[in-house]
């Protein structure tokens, strides 16, 4: 745990629009294991926030067999719809211009409730209307796994943006390993409070998401994971 926490703290993340605005420190929002893929060391998902809202998510997990020197992969994804600059060990490693996450209104969702407790109940009910599927993880492409929704948000937030009243991050998991994140926000739009949603990939496999059985989001397998201009990047780390 100390090892992965220390690795997360080595990142310097800055929002550059109208800035610079340093982000941090990272928040450990979900400690997890994945017996399906035999993760041998404790793994964790971290969030960095900007003005109260999630800006960057990272999963740090082991990629070595027991008895070998520890080696980790850092899977980072931008959530912020603005440019960021990221350094590690004094070296600029990542600078995406935008997250490219697309938000849309939750179909037929009721108006956001006035109290925080009631909105949490609403969020949990809305999240349960969605499902997520991991496809073609095996080399032969024969698998299709329905992911499990954790019943509680892994992160609840209040934004400094007056147009965002409330928000939560939910995880669809394999074991307890997040493969897809669902963001739900109550936002003011044209004088009304509406619920919107967006999905964040947390795996290199093919993904689909549905709302009440209707396909609303899909992602192909992730092959280019080293381009520093893209909103997703994987970093291999040999810890000191």
Q: For each of the chain's 240 residues, which pLDDT tens digit applies?
A: 888 999 999 999 999 988 899 998 999 999 998 877 666 567 999 999 999 999 999 999 988 777 777 788 999 999 999 999 999 999 999 999 999 899 999 999 999 998 999 999 999 999 999 999 999 666 555 678 999 999 999 999 988 888 999 999 999 999 889 999 999 999 998 888 899 999 999 998 899 999 999 999 999 987 778 999 999 999 988 766
Q: How is residue 62 written in tokens? A: 């082991």
**Lookup result for tokens 């059985």:** 213
**Lookup result for tokens 């067999």:** 65
Using only C-alpha atoms, the chain has a radius of gyration, in whole angstroms, of 18
Close Cβ partners of 206 (under 8 Å, ≥ 6 residues apart): 134, 135, 136, 137, 218, 219, 220, 221
What does the pLDDT read at residue 67? 74
- SS3 call for 121: helix
Report residue 41: phi and psi, to 5°: -120, 160
- Give the C-alpha separation, 192 to 100, whole Å: 25
Length of the chain, please? 240
What does the pLDDT read at residue 142? 65
Q: How is residue 92 written in tokens? A: 């600029």
What does the pLDDT read at residue 19? 83
Which pTM does this prediction carry? 0.93
């Amino acid at each position: 745990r100390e090892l992965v926490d220390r690795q997360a703290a080595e990142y310097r993340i800055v929002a550059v629009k109208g800035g610079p605005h340093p982000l941090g420190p990272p928040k450990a929002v979900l400690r997890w294991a994945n017996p399906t893929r035999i993760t041998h060391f404790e793994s964790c998902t971290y969030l960095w926030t900007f003005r109260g809202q999630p800006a960057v998510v990272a999963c740090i997990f082991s990629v070595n067999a027991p008895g070998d020197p520890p080696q980790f992969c850092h899977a980072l994804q931008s959530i912020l719809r603005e440019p960021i600059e990221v350094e590690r060990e004094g070296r600029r490693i990542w600078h995406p211009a935008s997250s490219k996450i697309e938000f849309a209104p939750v179909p037929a969702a009721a108006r956001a409730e006035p109290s925080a407790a009631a909105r949490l109940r609403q969020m949990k009910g809305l999240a349960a209307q969605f499902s997520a599927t991991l496809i073609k993880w095996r080399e032969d492409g024969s698998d299709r796994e329905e992911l499990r929704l954790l019943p509680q948000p892994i992160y609840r937030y209040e934004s400094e943006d007056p147009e965002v009243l409330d928000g939560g991050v939910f995880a669809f998991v394999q074991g307890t390993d997040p493969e897809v994140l669902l963001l739900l926000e109550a936002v003011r739009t044209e004088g009304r409070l509406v619920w919107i949603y967006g999905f964040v990939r947390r795996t290199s496999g093919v993904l689909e998401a549905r709302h009440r059985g209707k396909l609303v989001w899909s992602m192909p397998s992730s092959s280019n994971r080293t381009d520093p201009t893209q909103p997703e990047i994987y970093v291999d780390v040999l810890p000191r």
